[in-house]
Amino acid sequence: MRLFYLLLVFYFILLQSVHSQNKNDLVFILSEKAVNKVFTAIGEINGKSEYEVFGIIKGDYFWKINNARILFMADSSQFNCDAEVKVGPFTYKSKVPGQVKIDYNNKTDKITIKITQAVFELYTMFLKKKIHIKNIHLEDYFKEPFTFDGPKSYKSSVNINMPDSTVKIINLQPLDCEIKVTLKAIKTSCDIKAESKTGVR
């Protein structure tokens, strides 16, 4: 019985130790929905130019992307969109998957989301054969990452009236933040630093 209680005490000490390593004083959530509002604000993304294959097939091509979005999943993220392409008289649609890099800079307190790869093929048909023209790299149209302010912009203070007629001012500031991609959100967890100073009531 005594061994059982010793093991139980050890378990709770271990549990407390693991829990204390988590930064849960402040949790900052950047939702998938909020990030994708950027694409709504950007509007239509398209391109057009001339093409030539075999020195005899010439024309114009036009493409645009719809339904661009970034998806957050447990510990991963990806970019998706739909491409509509017109090459001369030939038209088609493509699903475009892409890769995304998410980072948080503790010094600048910035969350960055960058599309690192999203490619679809530009092609036409000739004598019932598919003729490759070029690849369109959408990441070239998103050279700058989406940047969001992090949780360190949050500052707060609590005033406490003391018995000696002074006021304790407790300033709260996030620090040592960690980022994690979760389902439909980016979660930034931080420790909170609390400092006090005395004022006059």
Asked if the model's pLDDT at residue 201 lies above 70, the reply is: no
pLDDT reported for residue 22? 55
Query: Rounded to two decimals, what is the model's pTM?
Result: 0.77
pLDDT in tens, 2-24: 433 333 333 333 333 334 445 67
pLDDT in tens, 156-182: 788 888 888 888 888 888 888 889 999
Angle at 140 between CA 112 and CA 111, to 5 degrees: 0
DSSP state of 165: S
pLDDT reported for residue 32? 96
pLDDT in tens, 33-59: 999 999 999 988 999 999 988 888 889
Confidence bin at 155 (pLDDT 50/70/90): confident
> What sign does the CA torsion over 3, 9, 12, 17 have?
negative
pLDDT reported for residue 199? 63
Domain ranges of the chain: 29-149
DSSP state of 153: G
What does pLDDT average to over the chain?
84
Contacts of 186 (CB under 8 A, 6+ apart): 29, 30, 35, 72, 102, 111, 113, 179, 180
DSSP state of 61: E
Contact at 8 Å (CB) between 92 and 82? no
